[in-house]
Structure 1
Amino acid sequence: MKSAISFFTVMLAAVVCCTAQAQEKQLSAKKAKALYERADRALNEAWAAAKQKLPEAEFSKLKDDQRAWVEYRDYLARSPMFTGADGQDDLPLDAPEYLQAAAGLEDERTEWLKGLIHDWKDDTISGVYSDSRGGRVELEEKDGHLYFSISVVRGPTSHGGEISGDAVWNAPIGWYSDKGEDKDKTDETNLSFIYRNRKLEITGANTSYYHGARAYFDGTYVKVKALDAKAQSEMVKDAKAGKVKEK
């Protein structure tokens, strides 16, 4: 079976990890503020670089996406469930738990913005991608194939999901179907991959078999890291076997 991945293990691991980290790393107000300020400076620097490099029309669209991302950041970082804080009410913006969680989310967004404007030297889309919203993808393009591995952790309850496999690739479009891969699975799952303007758009159909209730694979992903020859080889091997590498 090429890509039937149990998401229950991912969900449990993500929740346990977040809770353990929250308990182990309850920073003081001063340290949490310093951590957030460092992350915020890096994010502002990446934003300024994107404004300088991107065409005006593209940057205008990015501003809308950035506003939506800020809402996403505060939705998660103010959640006691996500941060491991006591209580049920939304955290204030000066709470150490909020500042610490927001800093981590901003680091992910900074990586995304830097990847968006980075001048990747290779001619393929192979690499590691992020959607800055809890989604991570590894890709290797080879001989009309797009080998992929997707893992996501979404929402304050850290719902997780995983899928990997071999998509048909006809640049700039890829198409994946799991039809016939699992005799016990009657409904077909599909993924589409479209690469344009330095972004990889992933859209899924009937993907719930592979993820928790909110852990969709859909998103706009940006390349944030290249894969060396060894990593590329492992990527192809794992995708053919339906494995998702542990992060």
Structure 2
Amino acid sequence: MKYLILLFLIFIISLHAQTSIAKHPCSALKTKNEQKECFLKEYKSADKELNEVYKNIRKSLSPENEEELKKVQRPWIGYRDGLCEGPMYSGDETGIETIACKTETTRERTSYLRKVWNLGKFPKDGIGSYTDGFGGRLKLFRKKGKPVHFELGVVRGPTAHLGEMDGDWTPNQEGKWTWSSPANCKAEDPECCILKFQTFDARIEVEEISCSAFHGARAYFGGDYRYEFK
């Protein structure tokens, strides 16, 4: 049942992408070549903006943080190309879907850099949204009279494999804890999800021990999730 739900969600994502392209102003041009040139121009503009934002943010960081940024930025190009040149978008002979995907993914990366790496004041309780910049999002929030809760959702890989998990947020004083669902389940249980969390200043490391039943085959919950300051 979970597998069928994931397939349905992947279909919805693909359909949404095709609908967005159909409604795009570039698609109103007469020929496919004109449309492609229009989409390509838009992509080049997005890529230029990304490079400018990246360079400016690097200048504002300490040497240590600059190295951290470089480490997380290097693999992103491969991630973008793998996603946009994958089976969800490669069926279009004109290449327009791939170009549009790269444009959108590039804009998302620019937004990520602005939100995460324009370092600001980090709340003591850590409440807020975090992202790993590769399709993973972690949110900590508190409802009145209840403990802090977390929601973890991912969209991974060229076929947009999905996953989601949530629960109460109860790290120890060192910021470490192991969470499982069902409680105290064993990794060898196919219906068990075990996640290890480690909190740092403005970031949370997540290690997935066993959660294959809760996400698509190419998805994963693990990652380095950084706080979104904006």
TM > 0.5? yes
Give the drift of 1:141. 6.2
Residue in 1 that maps onto 2:62: 55
- SS where residue 82 of structure 1 aligns? coil
Q: Is the aligned partner of 1:222 residue 2:226?
A: yes
Distance 1:50 1:7, change over 3 A: farther
Q: Is the 8 A contact 1:77 1:98 kept in 2?
A: yes
- Return the letter of the residue paired with 2:37: K
Q: Is the aligned partner of 1:135 residue 2:131?
A: no
Q: Is the aligned partner of 1:201 residue 2:184?
A: no
Distance 1:97 1:86, change over 3 A: closer
Cα deviations by residue, 1:141-162 (Å, 9 ceiling, x for unpaired):
6999541111111111221111
Cα distance in 1 for partners of 2:135, 2:196 equals 19
- Return the letter of the residue paired with 2:88: F
Q: How does 1:49-198 map to 2 (within 5 A)?
A: 49-79=56-86, 81-83=87-89, 85-86=91-92, 95-114=95-114, 115-120=116-121, 122-140=123-141, 146-170=148-172, 172-180=175-183, 188-198=192-202
Distance 1:6 1:145, change over 3 A: farther
- SS where residue 129 of structure 1 aligns? strand
Give the drift of 1:15. 2.7
Distance 1:136 1:52, change over 3 A: same
- Return the letter of the residue paired with 2:193: T
- SS where residue 5 of structure 2 aligns? helix
Residue in 1 that maps onto 2:32: none
Distance 1:119 1:7, change over 3 A: farther
Higher gyration radius (CA)? 2
- SS where residue 74 of structure 2 aligns? helix
- Return the letter of the residue paired with 2:63: E
With the length of structure 2 as denominator, give the TM-score of the two structures. Answer: 0.78
Residue in 2 that maps onto 1:16: 12
Q: Is the 8 A contact 2:136 2:155 kept in 1?
A: yes
Q: Which has the higher contact order (CA 8 A, sep 6+)?
A: 1
Residue in 2 that maps onto 1:34: 41
Cα distance in 1 for partners of 2:119, 2:6 equals 31
Query: 5+ unaligned residues in a row in structure 2: which ranges?
Result: 28-34
- SS where residue 168 of structure 1 aligns? coil
Cα distance in 2 for partners of 1:45, 1:7 equals 41
Give the drift of 1:84. 5.5
Cα distance in 1 for partners of 2:45, 2:177 equals 38
Give the drift of 1:192. 1.9
Count of residues in Structure 1 that have an aligned counterpart in Structure 2: 213
Cα deviations by residue, 1:91-146 (Å, 9 ceiling, x for unpaired):
9xxx4322211111112222222223331353232112222211122112699954
Q: Is the aligned partner of 1:213 residue 2:217?
A: yes
Give the drift of 1:211. 0.8
- SS where residue 137 of structure 2 aligns? strand
Distance 1:152 1:186, change over 3 A: closer
